[in-house]
């Protein structure tokens, strides 16, 4: 494969992108679980919002995986890989909540994603991969907006 990046650069960037993939998959599962299980006086509004968010996350998962493949690397989507690679608290695999703490946890996850991946934009650029940096910027935009929209439901 000759795309202007060395094999080492592609592997370094793909490693970061695979972490983004794992975190995105975990927050997708967590969001879908909240969509199904939340009990709240604001149920309908949150149910619709969470559905929109998990649908956007599903599209993100596909885009991230395709970016890894375009770098010439394999996408490991096994649950063991997702759990091992994710930097989130993996609540998606463990929780059985039904109250607003589900929303609070999702806000924390989105904020964590924004903090963690902001620094990876420059990393991608240093490794000759503006396209992966652009993908991360798109994901950051989504996570910051998702946190804002969810946070607005927590105001008492």
- Residue 28 covered by a domain: yes
For the segment 39-57, what is each residue's pLDDT rounded down to a tens digit?
Answer: 888 889 999 999 999 999 9
What range defines the domain where residue 85 resides?
10-151
Alpha-carbon distances of 15 from 12, 54, 60, 61, 100, rounded to whole Å: 5, 24, 17, 15, 34
- Over residues 14-36, the pLDDT tens digits come to 999 999 999 999 999 999 989 98
Q: Is residue 2 situated within a structural domain?
A: no
> Domain total for the chain?
1
Q: How many residues does the chain have?
A: 156
User: Is residue 142 very low, low, confident or very high in pLDDT (cuts 50, 70, 90)?
Assistant: very high
Residue 27, by phi and psi: left (phi above 0), alpha (psi -120 to 50) or beta?
alpha
Task: Tell me, yes or no, whether 37 lies in a domain.
Answer: yes
Question: What pLDDT shows up at residue 118?
Answer: 92
145: in domain: yes
Torsion of CA 108, 110, 116, 117, to 10 degrees: 180
Q: What is the pTM of this model?
A: 0.90
Is residue 66 a part of any domain in this protein? yes
Q: Is 1 domain-assigned?
A: no
What's the CATH code of the domain at 37? 1.20.1260.10
Do the domain assignments include residue 4?
no
Domain assignment present for residue 115? The answer is yes
């Amino acid at each position: 494969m000759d795309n202007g990046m060395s094999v080492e650069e592609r592997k370094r960037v793909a490693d970061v992108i695979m972490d983004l993939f794992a975190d995105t998959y975990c927050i997708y599962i967590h969001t879908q679980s909240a969509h199904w299980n939340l009990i709240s006086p604001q149920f309908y509004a949150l149910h619709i919002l969470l559905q929109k968010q998990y649908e956007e996350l599903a599209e993100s998962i596909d885009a991230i995986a395709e970016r890894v493949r375009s770098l010439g690397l394999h996408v490991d989507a096994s649950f063991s890989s997702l759990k091992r690679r994710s930097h989130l608290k993996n609540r998606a695999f463990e929780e059985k909540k039904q109250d607003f703490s589900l929303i609070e946890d999702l806000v924390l996850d989105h904020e964590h994603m924004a903090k963690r991946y902001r620094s990876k934009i420059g990393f991608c650029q240093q490794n000759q991969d503006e396209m992966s940096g652009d993908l991360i910027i798109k994901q950051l935009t989504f996570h910051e907006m998702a946190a804002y929209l969810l946070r607005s439901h927590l105001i008492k």
